[in-house]
């Protein structure tokens, strides 16, 4: 029987946790980010009763990022916004969590779509959303935004996929524009 457990390049708790919850490809991305933590320096910029702000520099690149750590929620927010765009924590945020002695990925940073439990290829349907007209438009917008973010995350992995997505979006834009015009004419 083949061993399907991902290979840990460092035997640390956060990587053991990540290997158990993430798909193999996402685990590899996460592990690469985590290994960069060792090449990051960290300096405190400011501190309040609610949060502390750090300056984190990845030595290999020399770029500086600000990371906010909120005490009550153990929330981290990095100026690079990798979590917002990709859905995994960046090395800068991981450096702050390490500094705060947090050895597990906080639950709010585990995106279901990247876990072994996620259903492959499931797209949410905005046709099932109910409500009044303004409420309905808002819910449809959020639902479409979620789906486009999912598609963008997948497409961002390869340059050819990005180009293909842009071509498809241009076609979709034309179809939606034409459909909108036809509906208004009725």
3-state secondary structure 21-43: HECHHHHHHHHHHHHHHHHEEEE
Distance (Å, whole) CA 156 – CA 75: 25
pLDDT score of 181 more than 70? no
Are 132 and 110 found together in one domain? no
> Would you call 65 helix, strand, or coil by DSSP?
strand
pLDDT at residue 119 in the model: 64
Q: What is the DSSP letter of 132?
A: -
Are 145 and 110 found together in one domain? no
Task: Out of 114, 140, 171, pick the residue that ends a domain.
Answer: 114
Alpha-carbon torsion (95, 98, 103, 107), positive or negative: negative
Alpha-carbon torsion (34, 36, 41, 43), positive or negative: negative
Contact indicator for 99, 54 with CB cutoff of 8 Å: yes
Are 58 and 90 found together in one domain? yes
Structure tokens that stand for 18 in this block: 């990540």
Alpha helices by DSSP H, 87-158: 91-99, 133-155
Are 64 and 146 found together in one domain? no
pLDDT at residue 1 in the model: 41
Are 23 and 101 found together in one domain? yes
User: What is the domain count for the chain?
Assistant: 2
Are 86 and 40 found together in one domain? yes
The answer to whether position 119 is within a domain reads no
Task: Out of 114, 136, 161, pick the residue that ends a domain.
Answer: 114
Are 106 and 152 found together in one domain? no
Are 93 and 140 found together in one domain? no
Are 98 and 145 found together in one domain? no
The answer to whether position 2 is within a domain reads no
Are 153 and 98 found together in one domain? no
The answer to whether position 3 is within a domain reads no
Give, in order, the Cα–Cα distances in Å from 160 to each of 35, 91, 151, 172. Answer: 28, 26, 14, 18
Prediction pTM value: 0.63
The answer to whether position 6 is within a domain reads no
Give, in order, the Cα–Cα distances in Å from 57 to each of 36, 63, 68, 81, 101. Answer: 11, 6, 14, 15, 19
Q: By mean pLDDT, which of 16-20, 52-56, 59-63 is the weakest? A: 59-63
The answer to whether position 7 is within a domain reads no
Give the pLDDT confidence of 120-177 residue by residue, as tens digits: 544 444 445 555 566 666 666 666 766 677 677 666 767 777 777 777 777 777 777 7
The residue count for the chain: 186
140: domain range?
A: 126-185
pLDDT at residue 105 in the model: 95
Region 173-185 average pLDDT: 71
The answer to whether position 173 is within a domain reads yes
pLDDT at residue 135 in the model: 65
Region 52-67 average pLDDT: 91
More confident call, 110 vs 180:
110
Region 38-63 average pLDDT: 93
The answer to whether position 120 is within a domain reads no
Is residue 59 within a helix (H) or strand (E), and if so which, with residue range?
none
The answer to whether position 131 is within a domain reads yes
Region 68-84 average pLDDT: 94
pLDDT at residue 123 in the model: 45
Give the pLDDT confidence of 85-118 residue by residue, as tens digits: 889 999 999 999 999 999 999 999 999 888 988 7
């Amino acid at each position: 029987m083949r061993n399907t457990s991902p290979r840990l390049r460092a035997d640390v708790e956060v990587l053991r946790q990540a290997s158990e919850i993430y798909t193999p490809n996402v685990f590899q991305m996460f592990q690469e980010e985590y290994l960069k933590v060792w090449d990051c320096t960290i300096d405190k910029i400011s501190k309040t009763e609610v949060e502390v702000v750090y300056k984190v520099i990845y030595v290999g690149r020399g770029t500086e990022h600000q990371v906010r750590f909120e005490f009550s929620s153990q929330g981290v927010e990095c100026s690079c916004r990798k979590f917002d765009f990709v859905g995994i924590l960046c090395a800068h945020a991981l450096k702050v969590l390490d500094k705060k002695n947090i050895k597990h990925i906080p639950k709010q940073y585990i995106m279901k779509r990247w876990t072994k439990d996620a259903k492959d290829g499931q797209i949410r349907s905005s046709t099932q959303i109910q409500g009044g007209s303004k409420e309905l438009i808002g819910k449809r917008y959020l639902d479409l935004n979620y789906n486009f973010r999912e598609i963008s995350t997948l497409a961002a992995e390869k340059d050819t996929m990005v180009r293909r997505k842009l071509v498809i979006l241009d076609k979709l834009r034309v179809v939606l524009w034409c459909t909108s015009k036809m509906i208004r004419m009725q």
